[in-house]
């Protein structure tokens, strides 16, 4: 029972500390953030399985780790030097046909891994690339040469309409009233749209969306699961 209580407590504390520190994808974490996350997780696991009475010590350590992370994030946002020290600086690996070997050494990146990352991103020929930058989070940013990059609307003297996010109106049979108002629509409009799609009730809808043009798309509740054979 004690382990159950401590596990739930550490789980809840981890959730709260994550909210305090901010949610970021794994690819957005710096090495320092990654290590801090592992440390807090390890302390939480130790706290959950501790049979001694010293569960307050690991809880305090978790809070201190989180507060220090928030403090450093604040200082990083206020100072460019602190940000560069904590997060690191982007490194130019390739520019105008030249590979910068000293930056490869700084990044601890060999040419074979670099070529693999280029291929994974769809670039099989380095001559198609103008610039490659290694970001502080370990991702590569690519600037292809003008002759091989995809054509833009401005290249064709075309002015397309700006895309806007599609708004979810119904999800899993539940009407999202706030989203309906955000789309500038009301329930009378929704009932009319459902009638056009021969749907009698919101509960029959798995997903319904509305785009910026007012176009309504709906997906019915699946009657049975569907799989693929071997």
Tell me, yes or no, whether 135 and 175 share the same domain: no
Assign residue 213 the CATH number of its domain: 3.30.240.20
Domain match, 47 and 72 both: yes
- Is residue 81 domain-shared with residue 20, that is, in the same domain? yes
Residue 95: CA count within 13 A, CB half-sphere: 9
- In-domain check, residue 160: no
Q: What's the domain range around 192?
A: 167-220
Pair (95, 125) in one structural domain: yes
The mean per-residue pLDDT over the stretch 100-125 comes to: 92
DSSP codes, 145-177:
-TTTSPPPGGGGT--PPPP-PPEEEEETTEE-H
Assess whether pLDDT exceeds 80 at residue 227: no
Answer yes or no: pTM beyond 0.85.
no
The answer to whether residues 14 and 57 belong to one domain is yes
Token pair belonging to 205: 């809808």
Phi, psi of 207 (to 5 degrees): -150, 135
Do residue 96 and residue 79 come from a single domain? no
Write the burial class of residue 94 (CB in 10 Å: 0-12 exposed, 13-18 middle, 19+ buried): buried
Rounded to an integer, the average pLDDT of 221-230 is 63
For residue 156, being part of any structural domain is answered with no
CA distance 16 to 22: 10
Residue ranges of alpha helices (H) inside the chain are 2-21, 31-48, 56-78, 80-87, 101-106, 111-120, 177-182, 187-196
Instruction: Out of 113-117, 122-126, 223-227, pick the least confident.
Output: 223-227
Residue partners of 45: CB distance under 8 A and separation at least 6: 10
140 in the same domain as 205: no
- Beta bridge partners of residue 99, listed in sequence order: 94
Residue 230 lies in a domain: no
State the average pLDDT over residues 165-187: 93
Residue 204 is encoded by which pair of tokens? 């029959």
pLDDT band, very low/low/confident/very high, at 25 (cuts 50, 70, 90) = very low
Are residue 112 and residue 73 in the same domain, yes or no? Answer: no
Taking the C-alpha atoms of residue 149 and residue 167, their distance in angstroms, rounded to an integer, is 31
Residue 13, number of CB atoms within 10 A of its CB = 19
Based on the fold, state whether residues 26 and 53 are members of the same structural domain: yes
Specify if 155 maps to a domain. Answer: no
Same domain assignment for residues 49 and 80: yes
If one compares 45 and 193, the residue with the highest pLDDT of the two is: 193
Highest mean pLDDT of the ranges 13-22, 153-162, 176-185: 176-185
- Tell me what pLDDT residue 122 has: 92
Are the beta carbons of 185 and 200 closer than 8 angstroms? no
SS3 110: coil
Q: Is the distance from CB of 203 to CB of 173 less than 8 angstroms?
A: yes
The Cβ of residue 219 has, within 10 Å, a number of other Cβ atoms equal to 11
11 and 76 fall within a common domain: yes
Number of structural domains (the chain) is 3
Please indicate, yes or no, whether residues 98 and 28 belong to a single structural domain of this protein: no
- Whether 171 is in a domain gets the answer yes
Task: With respect to residue 151, please indicate whether it lies within any of the assigned structural domains.
Answer: no
Is 153 a domain residue?
A: no
d(CA 112, CA 15): 39
Between CA 218 and CA 61 the distance in angstroms is 49
Tell me what pLDDT residue 10 has: 79
Reference 100, options 132, 60, 128; nearest CA is 132
Q: Is the pLDDT of residue 228 over 60?
A: no
């Amino acid at each position: 029972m004690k382990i159950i209580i401590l596990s739930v407590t550490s789980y809840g504390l981890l959730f709260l500390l994550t909210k305090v520190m901010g949610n970021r994808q794994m690819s957005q974490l710096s090495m320092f953030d990654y290590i801090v996350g592992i440390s807090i997780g390890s302390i939480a696991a130790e706290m959950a399985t501790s049979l001694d009475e010293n569960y307050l010590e690991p809880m305090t350590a978790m809070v201190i780790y989180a507060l220090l992370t928030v403090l450093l994030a604040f200082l990083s946002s206020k100072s460019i030097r602190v940000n560069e020290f904590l997060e690191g600086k982007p490194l130019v690996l390739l520019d105008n046909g030249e590979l910068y070997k000293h930056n490869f050494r700084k990044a601890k990146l060999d040419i074979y891994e670099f070529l693999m990352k280029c291929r994974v991103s769809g670039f099989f020929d380095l001559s198609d690339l103008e610039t490659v930058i290694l970001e502080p989070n370990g991702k590569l940013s690519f600037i292809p040469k003008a002759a091989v990059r995809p054509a833009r609307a401005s290249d064709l003297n075309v002015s397309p309409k700006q895309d806007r996010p599609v708004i979810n109106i119904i999800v899993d049979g539940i009407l999202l009233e706030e989203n309906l108002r955000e789309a500038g629509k009301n329930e009378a409009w929704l009932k009319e749209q459902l009638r056009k799609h021969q749907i009698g009730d919101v509960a029959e809808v798995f997903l319904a969306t509305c785009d910026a043009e007012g176009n309504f798309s709906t997906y019915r509740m699946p009657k049975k699961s569907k799989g693929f054979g071997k």
